[in-house]
Amino acid sequence: MLASGAAFGDPVTLSGITFSDELGGFRILQGSGTGSADDPFVVVEEIFDDEPAVLVIRGLSASFGNPVRSNHFAGFALTKIAINRTSQVWQEFSMELQEVRGQESDYHDGLSFGQDAGGPRLLGSDRFTAVAGTDEPFDGVVFGGGSVASGQQVSLRVIVTDNSPRPEFYLVQRRRLGVAASGPAEDAGG
């Protein structure tokens, strides 16, 4: 397992939106896409710490627009590919949006995972079969009904929207841990 002091990746900027791993616990490996539903931003990262991995996102604004075409001022589709570099099995993967680090995003800040999008919210995963979104009292999504062993990767799809975009916000990523891996990881499919 890598120590939490491992080198971070360079920030990735896609269509003016910058994704950064500067707060630690994981490393961004690469990114691609335009943020539309057909061509989502794809951010590939390896998580090597059991603590929350906080992705810093900069550049979302009304001038960026909304390539997912929901009824919000700004938004984008995001696929995260997370590689498990811990010694633990992930039994759930949750994401929470925060405009201010450490404070829950409430209804009044306009930031959400496509709340009241006027269409599909595009939530999904290749390894987790259950997805539950929370709009109040905070904005979160939990992926469950599966597992990701050490060395495996998971793909997670969301849309991020904002009616009053700020130049910087946070995507807090948490994993509910299972038992430690003991031997070669078995492929759970996906």
pLDDT of 115 above 90? no
Q: Which is more confidently placed, 10 or 156?
A: 156
Task: Specify the number of domains making up the chain.
Answer: 1
Domain interval for residue 27:
12-179
In a domain, 110, yes or no: yes
Say if CB 105 and CB 98 are below 8 A apart. yes
Cα 125-190-85 angle, rounded to 5 deg: 80
| pLDDT at residue 4, as a whole number | 40
- Is residue 157 a contact partner of residue 124, using CB atoms and an 8 Å limit? yes
Is the pLDDT at 181 greater than 60? The verdict is no
User: Is residue 184 assigned to a domain?
Assistant: no
**Residue at 185 is within a domain:** no
Q: Residue 112 corresponds to which tokens in the numbers above? A: 């959400």
Any residues with CB less than 8 A from the CB of 167 and at least 6 apart, and which?
58, 59, 60, 61
Residue 189 lies in a domain: no
Q: Would the pLDDT of 186 be above 70?
A: no
Lowest mean pLDDT among 50-59, 73-82, 134-143: 134-143
Q: pTM for the full model? A: 0.85
Residue 186 in any domain: the answer is no
